């Protein structure tokens, strides 16, 4: 199993738009092959920080997800809402790989 934790700090004035825009991507991603869980959470200590927590059956499923039209659309939509790049941690077999988006 593969876990992904993607943390994003958004501009305060774009919090509502970020959450609203994420809904379509979340709904479509949950339909994908190999998606076990795909959820967005707001930080309890910082209202401008959001965390996607994902679980995938395989690396191939996660790789296919990265190429989907709905994820590409979400990245284009959410880009202007971000205060900084997204910190992405991919956890495979207990090892953490860091990416930035």
Contact of 23 with 83, CB cutoff 8 Å: no
Q: What angle do CA 75, 13, 52 make, to 5 degrees?
A: 40
Is residue 31 in some structural domain? yes
Helices (H), the chain: 15-29, 59-65, 69-78
pLDDT at position 96, please?
85
Is residue 99 in some structural domain? no
pTM recorded for the entire structure? 0.90
The conformation of residue 94, written as its DSSP 8-state character, comes to T
Is residue 76 in some structural domain? yes
CATH of the domain at 16: 3.30.70.100
Is residue 54 in some structural domain? yes
* Per-residue model confidence as pLDDT tens digits over 22-69: 999 999 999 999 999 999 999 999 999 999 999 999 999 999 999 999
Is residue 50 in some structural domain? yes
100 pLDDT more than 70 = no
Going by pLDDT thresholds of 50, 70 and 90, the confidence category of residue 101 is: low
Is residue 98 in some structural domain? no
Three-state DSSP class for residue 78: helix
- Give the chain's domain count: 1
Residues paired with residue 53 on neighbouring β-strands, in sequence order: 5, 39
């Amino acid at each position: 199993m593969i876990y992904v934790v993607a943390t994003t700090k958004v501009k305060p004035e774009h919090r509502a738009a970020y959450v609203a825009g994420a809904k379509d991507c979340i709904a479509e991603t949950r339909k994908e092959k190999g998606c076990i869980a795909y959820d967005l959470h707001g930080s309890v200590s910082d209202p401008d920080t959001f965390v996607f927590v994902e679980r995938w059956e395989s690396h191939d499923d996660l790789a296919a997800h990265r190429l989907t039209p709905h994820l590409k659309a979400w990245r284009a939509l959410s880009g202007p809402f971000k205060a900084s790049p997204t910190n992405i941690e991919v956890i495979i077999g207990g090892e953490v790989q860091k990416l930035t988006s």
